[in-house]
Structure 1
């Protein structure tokens, strides 16, 4: 779903109005010497507005929490204000800028990833914990797959080897549920390729992120690419049908 630009710009403008800094007038008959400024809106109104604005910023400028500077010592909302100003320009002029600069490449929006992936990753992503966000997304896809096939006896590689096996389910007995197979609705003739993808994600991304200490934080763009890979897997599982 595309963003409602007019509505989003209105919310950003309202937030900027509430958080504008000004010097309150001196009380009658008094002169106060201070450089301290206050926000025009009440903290209650600002917090309520920020709840909406943060979600707009996450859509328009996904990396704003780590990329946009802020100075909390000057004002609590300084980073939000600069991000809101940048987002407003982006909403107005991104199409024009891309056309003028010749940058017409598609951009990956985290909000458009499969809900299993982004819902799990978003809280950590907002804090700049990109590697942990990818790990959380991988775990969520694993849990959702277990739920869909009704299995708790296998996880990750073993689970997906069974899920995307091209063999027929074994009939009857205690192993019937354990041998339930998933099929991709549109490409049922290629299930092993999905298993190969999941094994690659497990070995190349999930294991190192979870079990190797001292790894540096992932660059944001690299982490987003990894989330996109898990999003592909999540959609395959989500749209698959169960064979018995």
Structure 2
């Protein structure tokens, strides 16, 4: 997935701020004298600009809309959020160098589509736990579809999919590489099988009941969990089917 174009995003924010700026009436001409202020642009222009800015905010400030007021007639609240996003975009490198160790960032939007697309709307509204659960559901469903196995799911599905046993009728296998009789082939599939088992046993099943806590916060924990499901998704997506 393409990375966010910072220059474009800042330009769109500036355009929205300009359109929604409150300016005084020009009473230099003849006619009725108007007092107070009005929005520089039209309501249509403001609404169109707001739509674009909201997409930028989804990427730059996850969860930004959780405290959004019911009414924001003059776009005052959205203007404030847009200004925050602009600062985040323009000073991203500075923040990383002065507030942290400048470690590489992981962007959820660049994860495998199976781990991101279904949960994107949840993530953007700050429902990080639900986004992870959606990833688990999607990866399971895509694996079932690839193998034609609607009779098993989750842990049982992946245990059979990556089994080193020969495929059977109605039970094809996923193969990450060709069997050359070496240890690497066996280790790859045992590892994938154990990895998938761990994800659905330790994250998916407990996660259906209560979100786990982490010193890094719910968002950081969820991002790490999404990355894990993304890796499993890539393995499944790239694997060949033996015995279809």
Give me the TM-score of the superposition, normalised by structure 2: 0.80
Partners of 2:65 and 2:221 in 1: CA distance: 17
Partners of 2:16 and 2:136 in 1: CA distance: 35
- In the other structure, the counterpart of 2:198 is 200
- In the other structure, the counterpart of 1:12 is 13
- In the other structure, the counterpart of 1:228 is 227
Partners of 2:21 and 2:212 in 1: CA distance: 41
Cα displacement string for residues 20-58 of structure 1 (whole angstroms, at most 9, x for unaligned residues): 2345568954565x7xx6543333323322332222223
- In the other structure, the counterpart of 1:106 is 104
Larger deviation, residues 22-31 vs 154-163: 22-31
**Given that residues 72 and 78 in structure 1 are in contact (C-alpha distance below 8 angstroms), is that contact kept between their aligned partners in structure 2?**
no
- In the other structure, the counterpart of 1:173 is none
Larger deviation, residues 127-136 vs 89-98: 89-98
- In the other structure, the counterpart of 1:41 is 41
Change (3 A) 1:228 1:213: closer
**Given that residues 109 and 116 in structure 2 are in contact (C-alpha distance below 8 angstroms), is that contact kept between their aligned partners in structure 1?**
yes
Change (3 A) 1:222 1:213: closer
Partners of 2:38 and 2:176 in 1: CA distance: 57
Determine whether 1:181 maps to 2:177.
no
Question: What is the deviation of 1:226?
Answer: 1.6
Partners of 1:242 and 1:227 in 2: CA distance: 25
Question: What is the deviation of 1:62?
Answer: 2.9
SS at match of 1:182: strand
Change (3 A) 1:53 1:139: same
Cα displacement string for residues 116-172 of structure 1 (whole angstroms, at most 9, x for unaligned residues): 1111111122222222221111111111111111221111111111111122212xx
Partners of 1:122 and 1:21 in 2: CA distance: 34
Question: What is the deviation of 1:111?
Answer: 0.9
Q: Which runs of no fewer than 5 residues in structure 1 stay unpaired? A: 171-175
Change (3 A) 1:79 1:157: farther
Q: Which runs of no fewer than 5 residues in structure 2 stay unpaired? A: 179-183
Partners of 1:131 and 1:97 in 2: CA distance: 27
Larger deviation, residues 90-99 vs 224-233: 90-99
Aligned CA-pair RMSD = 3.0
Change (3 A) 1:23 1:167: farther
Change (3 A) 1:181 1:103: same
Change (3 A) 1:6 1:136: same
Paired positions, count:
231
Partners of 2:202 and 2:148 in 1: CA distance: 26
Q: Aligned ranges for residues 112-191 of structure 1 at < 5 Å? A: 112-170=110-168, 176=169, 178-185=170-177, 188-189=185-186, 190-191=188-189
- In the other structure, the counterpart of 1:243 is 242
